[in-house]
Amino acid sequence: MTMDMTFLGTGSAYPSPHRGASALVLRTEGECWLFDCGEGTQTQLMRSSLRAGRITKVFISHLHGDHLFGLPGLLCTVSLNTNPDPEQNLNCVDIYGPRGLRNFLRVTLGLTGSQLLFPYAVHELEPTPEQSPEEGQLSLEVCEVSDFCPPHPQERPGRKITLDVSSDCYLLFEDKKFVAKAFRLFHRIPSFGFCIQEHDRPGRLKTELLKELGLKPGPLYGRLKNGESVTLESGRVVLPTEVLEETIPGRKVCVLGDCSSVVGDTPLSLCHRADILVHEATLGDEHRERAVDHGHSTPEMAAAVARACCARKLVLYHFSQRYKPSSLRKEGDDDDVCELKRQAEEALQDSGVEVTLAEDFLTLPIPLRKSR
Amino acid sequence: MTMDMTFLGTGSAYPSPHRGASALVLRTEGECWLFDCGEGTQTQLMRSSLRAGRITKVFISHLHGDHLFGLPGLLCTVSLNTNPDPEQNLNCVDIYGPRGLRNFLRVTLGLTGSQLLFPYAVHELEPTPEQSPEEGQLSLEVCEVSDFCPPHPQERPGRKITLDVSSDCYLLFEDKKFVAKAFRLFHRIPSFGFCIQEHDRPGRLKTELLKELGLKPGPLYGRLKNGESVTLESGRVVLPTEVLEETIPGRKVCVLGDCSSVVGDTPLSLCHRADILVHEATLGDEHRERAVDHGHSTPEMAAAVARACCARKLVLYHFSQRYKPSSLRKEGDDDDVCELKRQAEEALQDSGVEVTLAEDFLTLPIPLRKSR
């Protein structure tokens, strides 16, 4: 199964003509999962090779506008480009994000009379007090009050997801291919990271060996591949481990929202050996104090997380708009975004972690793993 | 006083890479007034020669997302670029728009914990049932429910503006330079048009004549210019009309939101002899039925309004995204936006009304009038 990630917006605070506001898409065969949706994401999607209509899941890391203000418009535009036959639109778009997100959509879609042709559900994560300073929790007042707001006609019941105390994380969903979890970050308002873990898949059948054992292609092959033992007419029991090549390990992709740190150690263990760890680096290390004051990270701080969880690749994004993309930078300009990469690389010397600088429309393939 | 209008978005339904969602700016010396604010308006502003920080008033014609979803983000970004000294930020941004707008901002700014460095006030227009089909009024439910939402710390009290029955319009404000009124349009949800009328200004002083009368430059000149009579030492009374050249007539700019028609005759008399009448033309005349079904107009319909109010210049905008800007159109493409202009021109033959096609970033100067 092919898998890749495309950055639609890599700027912080607001969208600009040279950097979109936060948004990226994880694509697996036929499905697009959107992480954050700053203003202008729908236009960035149109500029990319992705199709907005393929978005089946949305993950919102936190409720700051530069990660969220594009969502109502995106849903409306997807709907405008949707087949108007209701029979064709039964698939629910699942939206995961912090408490308050459901009412944000109710009010923005409701007050604007926005009609949607497809159903959607908002699954809200309950933050904990460790995720933000006290004043960061104020916005929940608004949230509680607007609970009176009636649901959109296309809203389906969503879950309230609380921190699972034993695992110290939030289980978002598990299906045949993936398990998705969220974990806690510290920011000015509660922020989350997401860990998408592909299940390991059984290795290929050793067909030569199966033929030697007298087994012909058919349903028994499927049972073996599914991990069941098979008894031959001779009475010989064939174990799956005998006839399957090595398990193909699943890939792991972790996307962290805005943060100046993770909360506890669980995020590090959840992200252990991630193929891709996407971490913000809003400002250079020389502005560390300012970054932390605003709940943000520098390349060195991102690198420390990547090192602690032994990530394979650290991808930096969410750059202050002062850092222009390299292609637009002129000689003598301050604020070289490549300097952010150098800072992370320096902090990751001898760690084996590769550093990539995200730019709008960068697509990173996520190849199948060959080993753990 | 110089005056001009810049289109930031001329597309309908949603923003695209080739046409922004609805937004235009009327600029007079030092001030920018924004009409509608679709998603991406802040980025379009950055691409233009205008400064977002100069926006002192915002007019929202109706609450559809393609006219509104850019407003919370725009306010946040203006704030980020604002001088943090509170003494410098005492000027309130006045926002005018249909009922529901205040809560839209409370919820979007409140749930996202958006801090603003400047105060704002929302003055809500109460729509009447004639402005939309019955189902178009449903969204008011949401509006009433979210009245529980607490105000943003920077929200200042705004007015509730109801239809003035005697004049059949809404008086928004009157200051030394302008009077601004709103009038009713028919659309799927209640929509408004705005009429900005510059006051007439006294003509220049005939300085030669004043000198002949023995009056030297000084405070008396100011009194005459202000329309007061002055008595000379000789007892001779000088009337302002004697010593002033002809009054400089004020300019009139009218911007209509989405509509398939105006409500009643008042809009036509308010827009009488407008220097610029901005009217939507979502689809070509050959799609008239479809346009009207969706509450929209065609060039012929826009032309009929322009003719009825004897506008000087009709500016068409809010084109379906199927109409690419002429500069991007390739030979053989259907949906030529220039055809929309031709349709309006044909309908306006012999009327003396000039037709202009708006494109993103088009700036139209609005010169002083020479005659009524």
Question: Contact A43/B150, CB-based, under 8 Å?
Answer: no
How much is the pLDDT for B149? 77
Catalytic residue among B36, B66, B258, B285: B66
Task: Please enumerate in sequence order all residues whose Cβ is within 8 A of that of A50, keeping only pairs 6 or more positions apart, or say none.
Answer: A6, A8, A25, A27, A32
Residue A148 is predicted with a pLDDT of 65
Among A14, A37, A137, A152, most B C-beta atoms within 10 A, so best to mutate, is: A14
Among B44, B66, B78, B112, most A C-beta atoms within 10 A, so best to mutate, is B112
From residue A32, how far is each of A29, A59, A66, A94, B199 by CA, in Å? Answer: 8, 11, 20, 12, 55
Of B16, B72, B114, the CB nearest to A43: B16
Determine the distance in angstroms separating the CA of A60 from the nearest CA of chain B, rounded to an integer. 12
Instruction: Give CA–CA dist A123/A182, Å, rounded.
Output: 12
Selection from A317, A101, A121, A314 nearest residue A189 by Cα: A101
Using the structure block, give the residue that is written with the tokens 């929309």: B340
* Stated pTM of the model: 0.94
Q: What is the pLDDT along chain B (372 residues), one digit of tens a residue?
A: 899 999 999 999 999 999 999 999 999 987 999 999 999 999 999 999 999 999 999 999 999 999 999 999 999 999 988 888 877 777 899 999 999 999 999 999 998 999 999 999 999 999 999 999 988 875 555 556 556 678 999 999 999 999 999 999 999 999 999 999 999 999 999 999 999 999 998 888 998 998 888 888 888 888 998 889 999 888 899 999 889 998 888 999 999 999 999 999 999 999 999 999 999 999 999 999 999 999 999 999 999 999 999 999 999 999 999 999 988 888 888 899 999 999 999 999 999 999 999 999 999 999 998 765
Strands B120-125, B160-161: pairing kind: parallel
Q: Which residue type is seen at B104?
A: F
Average pLDDT over residues A314-334: 92
The Cα B230–Cα B236 span in angstroms is: 8
Distance CA B247, CA B201 (A): 6
Candidates B14, B39, B146; nearest CB to A146: B146
Name residues whose C-beta falls within 8 Å of residue B342's C-beta, 6 or more positions apart in sequence. none
Separation between Cα atoms, residue A173 and residue A187, nearest integer Å: 24
Rg of chain B on CA atoms, in Å: 23
Closest CA of chain A from B42, distance in Å: 8
Active-site pick, A36, A66, A285, A360: A66
> Which chain A residue shows the shortest CA-CA distance from B12?
A77
Cβ separation of A108 and B42 shorter than 8 Å?
no
Q: What is the ipTM of this complex?
A: 0.93
**How crowded is the C-beta side of A202, counted as CA atoms within 13 Å?**
17
Contact A17 B108 (CB under 8 A): no
Question: Cα–chain-centroid distance for residue A292?
Answer: 23
Tell me if residue B147 is catalytic: no
Residue with tokens 């502005």: A287
